[in-house]
Amino acid sequence: MENTAVQRDIVNLAAVNLRAVWGDKAQNLRRILDYTVAAARRGADIITFPELALTGYEDQPDTPLSEKMHHRLAETAGGPSIAAVADCCRQLGVYVVFGLPERDPATGAVYNAAAVCGPDGPLGIYRKMHPAGDESLWCQKGEQPLLFSTPWGPVGVGICYDSYSFPELLRYYAASGARLYLNPTAMPENHRRESRSFYRDTLYAAVHQNDIFLVSANLVSEDVIDPGYRWRLPAGPGIPQPATFLGGSLVIGPGFGRRVHLYAGSPRHCEAELVLTTVDLSLSNRTIYSQNPYTGTPDFRPECYQQLYGELARRQGR
């Protein structure tokens, strides 16, 4: 499928509440491929899977770095899992974004990453810029954004913490012409910190501020489980204490009657499932990046922010 000079507006978007099995790459890959086929049969054009969908999420804090699960199972951009998903995308004519630990073949560094595949094969890797909490015990920080081309225009990718606490990345994508942002995430349930409201409110605010569509795909339930999904594995040497992920995969964006409309899914959907909807990306007008009719220039002023952030970087010795 080739990109065309005229952007298409109507697109079918899917997000998967995935229950991954921690450390079982083969089973997780089968599920990613099966969900991709199921979504394509229902008409999906772009399918988003969660953060670290290929391996599961939790770190092993007392395990040497080279023996940690994410290091043992990390793949390069040319690895077999990305190749399998890319082949599936070629056959079905769809785009897929899924999370995995990715290894740089030149340096050996491992990143919390999202692979993008499309009808023409692998399209790129996004490396999470802001690892959250103990992720920094096993992964390096990414440095570059990722916009990939589609018939619906450029699409941006961020991962979890990037989306909730660092609005600069999404804003960069929107200012660069993206009408759609994809958020593979691994948001755990945390009643003390009200994680469901944090998840919802930050994503809704991003859409409200930038007038773009957003797809978020989350892990669901516990992932430190036996391959048959029968029981939780007891924590012990090499086996981490599991988190419970809240699911809540959704598609949100601008609407006619409200600034942010919930098109599919919900922050409270907590079962393994696929959500799918059709949206009209022409509703993404990205107002602050367009010319203000009263001034003839956009309200968005990156030249000012460059000066401010440059000053902050100097203060921090960067």
**pLDDT recorded at residue 122:** 98
Q: Which residues does the chain have with pLDDT short of 70?
A: 1-5, 191-193, 225-241
pTM: 0.93
**pLDDT recorded at residue 92:** 98
**pLDDT recorded at residue 55:** 97
Q: What does the pLDDT look like over 292-304, one tens digit per residue?
A: 999 999 999 999 9
**pLDDT recorded at residue 231:** 53
**pLDDT recorded at residue 318:** 81
Long-range CB pairs of 191-194, under 8 A, 24+ apart, other chains included? none
**pLDDT recorded at residue 225:** 60
**pLDDT recorded at residue 232:** 57
- Domain definitions of the chain by residue range: 10-285, 292-318
**pLDDT recorded at residue 79:** 97
**pLDDT recorded at residue 2:** 43
Long-range CB pairs of 130-133, under 8 A, 24+ apart, other chains included? 130/161, 130/162, 130/165, 130/166, 131/161, 132/160, 132/161
Nearest Cα neighbor of 65 from 142, 141, 160, 134 is: 134
Domain 10-285 has CATH 3.40.640.10: no
